[in-house]
Amino acid sequence: MNEKETDIIDVINPATGESAGTVKRCTKDDVHSAIEMAEDAFSGWAAKSPRERAKLLFLSAQEIRERQTELAELLTAEQGKPLFEAKNEIQGCAAVLEYYASISGTVRGDFLPKSDYGYSFTVKKPLGICGAIIPWNMPVLILAWKTGPALVAGNCLIVKPSSKTPLTSQKIAAILHSCGIPEDVFSVVTGSGSEAGSALAESRRIAALSFTGSVETGNFVEKLSCGTGKRLTLELGGSDPMIVCSDADIDSAVAGAVAGRYYNCGQTCTAVKRLYVMEDIAEEFKRKLTEKVSQIKTGNGMIKGTKMGPLIDMDAREKISMLISGIERDYGAEILTGGKITGTPELKSGSFFEPTVIAGAPKDCFLFTEEIFGPVLPVAVVKDMDEAIEEANRTKFGLGASVWTKSLKNSFEATEMLDAGIVWVNRHLKIPPEVPFGGEKESGSGRENGLSALDRYMKEKTVIMTP
Ligand code: TXE
């Protein structure tokens, strides 16, 4: 929320500290103009058939795929993630748009049995002008999660990207416009959260708002939205537990933990943020995990072979560094690998931090109860499934969780008992477009992806026809 006030926002490349580009700092008036233009465009867009809208989304997705290298390079420059991850994200964006385009013809209401009053049926209609507030960690994929269902359902959408990563969103918007989606139907307002973001949250003319970001800002957005009559979807933080049972395939669980924690430099809402390993396999698991994590090649995401980029900015690095600094002294923990700012001279202008594994910290310390948004993985040893589940459910979060086991009984117990919006068995992190995704407890409310998200962008009208 601390963004300095000038007319222009300079977007900083976190790997080099240099400018990756600039964007306009939109004011509340700019947001109000975007809303006005969208209101004028709404009836024309809503009147198109879902198939016509889908055609434009298919074209956009195709263009995004064709320009994936250029888009991925821009995403890496503004966000820091390695180029292969940026490409995955761009392809993920195209896949989400294609998914919603492909189900456009399935939008339907219900036909209800004839009653004494005659025939009844429901129709699904778009809500009107919707808003999307996007964070910096997965800016393109999260944009697609909100854009696909909102546009297919016949709404207009105004997107407010994070001021740390607005450049790729702007380019995606230009692609959508060049493929025939009108500029006033889909627009991007770049600017600070306190100015442009608040304007969307406070407006009574925004029918639905989907927010992804921190719990603190999400709660604030909820307060701003209160009384405006808008439908709110909140995708907030997570502190996903990963439980590794005695019968798990240890090598694949180690690989899953590494991919699940260090992808995007640990800055993913559904990253593996806490590991609970059964005691009889704990030593072998920690040894193999430490070995793999110490081999992760950290560096500028543009350079081939880089497996982990920098944190989003120097403040984020400072925060992680401060958190870890007293962990051995104050909590009796042991840093098995990493734990420091990456010190090599060629990386000194970027916000790099070593991939870190920590063992032996008390299970009720902040590493296990808070969301740590960086490449730090705490490992705890548990005696059985009951203890694992009790520890996993200890936090205020309830986004994702995973259990690694060959046993059907363990899988059932974990999927039944874990407080989480999504539970993976022998996997973590990946979510295909057709699978609904969202949190419980303080991790948010509402769902993105799948048919559930499409429903969030439509209202149901009931018709009773008496002959
Ligand atoms: O998020 P914010 P930030 C967590 C993570 C991270 C921390 C801060 O712990 O370190 O949040 O990240 C807009 N009204 N997550 O500062 O502040 C803002 O401009 C309306 C977890 O980026 O929540 C941006 O577009 N909007 C999360 C968006 O909200 C406002 C992903 C998110 O910003 C606003 C990202 C306001 N008053 C961060 N203030 C996850 N778990 O995936 C800000 N915004």
Predicted confidence (pLDDT) at residue 4 exceeds the cutoff of 80? no
What pLDDT does residue 180 have? Answer: 98
CB atoms within 10 A of CB 364: 10
What pLDDT does residue 1 have? Answer: 46
Predicted confidence (pLDDT) at residue 465 exceeds the cutoff of 60? yes
What pLDDT does residue 348 have? Answer: 86
Q: Show the DSSP H helices in 48-189 as ranges.
A: 50-66, 68-79, 83-102, 139-152, 167-178
Q: What is the pLDDT of residues 403-458, one digit of tens each?
A: 999 999 999 999 999 999 999 999 999 899 999 999 999 999 999 999 999 999 99
Q: How far is the CA of 137 from the centre of ligand 1 (A)?
A: 9
Q: What percent of the chain has pLDDT over 70?
A: 99
What pLDDT does residue 5 have? Answer: 63
CATH topology of 3-236+441-465 equal to that of 240-425? no
Catalytically active residues, by annotation: 146, 235, 269, 448
What pLDDT does residue 346 have? Answer: 79
pTM of the predicted model, to two decimals? 0.96
Q: How far is the CA of 214 from the centre of ligand 1 (A)?
A: 5
Pick from 214, 171, 172: nearest CA to 193: 214
- Residue of 214, 221, 236, 264 to test ligand 1 pocket, by largest number of atoms within 8 Å of CB: 214
Q: What is the pLDDT of residues 45-55, one digit of tens each?
A: 999 999 999 99
Predicted confidence (pLDDT) at residue 276 exceeds the cutoff of 60? yes
Q: How far is the CA of 213 from the centre of ligand 1 (A)?
A: 4
Taking the C-alpha atoms of residue 450 and residue 364, their distance in angstroms, rounded to an integer, is: 35
The stretch 319-348 carries a mean pLDDT of 93
Query: What is the residue extent of each domain of the chain?
Result: 3-236+441-465, 240-425
Pick from 185, 175, 177, 125: nearest CA to 151: 185
CB half-sphere exposure, 230, CA atoms < 13 A: 27
Q: Which residues contact residue 349 at a Cβ distance below 8 angstroms, ignoring those fewer than 6 apart?
A: 16, 17, 18
The stretch 7-33 carries a mean pLDDT of 97
The CATH class of the 240-425 domain is alpha beta
Report the mean per-residue pLDDT for the chain.
96
Protein residues whose CB sits closer than 6 Å to any atom of ligand 1: 1, 133-137, 160, 162-163, 193-194, 197-198, 201, 212-214, 217, 220-221, 237-238, 269, 371, 373
What pLDDT does residue 210 have? Answer: 98
Q: What is the residue-wise DSSP string for 310-365?
A: --SSHHHHHHHHHHHHTHHHHH--EEEE--SB---GGGTTS--B--EEEES--TTS
Taking the C-alpha atoms of residue 139 and residue 19, their distance in angstroms, rounded to an integer, is: 18
Q: What is the pLDDT of residues 191-222, one digit of tens each?
A: 999 999 999 999 999 999 999 999 999 999 99
Ligand 1 atom with minimal separation from the 163 CA: 19
Q: What is the pLDDT of residues 146-187, one digit of tens each?
A: 999 999 999 999 999 999 999 999 999 999 999 999 999 999
Taking the C-alpha atoms of residue 42 and residue 426, their distance in angstroms, rounded to an integer, is: 45
Taking the C-alpha atoms of residue 87 and residue 81, their distance in angstroms, rounded to an integer, is: 10
Q: Which CATH number describes the domain made up of 3-236+441-465?
A: 3.40.605.10
Q: What is the pLDDT of residues 81-122, one digit of tens each?
A: 999 999 999 999 999 999 999 999 998 899 999 999 999 999
The stretch 22-28 carries a mean pLDDT of 97
Name the pLDDT band for 6 (thresholds 50, 70, 90): confident
Give me the helix-helix angle, 167-178 and 50-66, nearest 10°.
130
Q: What is the pLDDT of residues 57-80, one digit of tens each?
A: 999 999 999 999 999 999 999 999
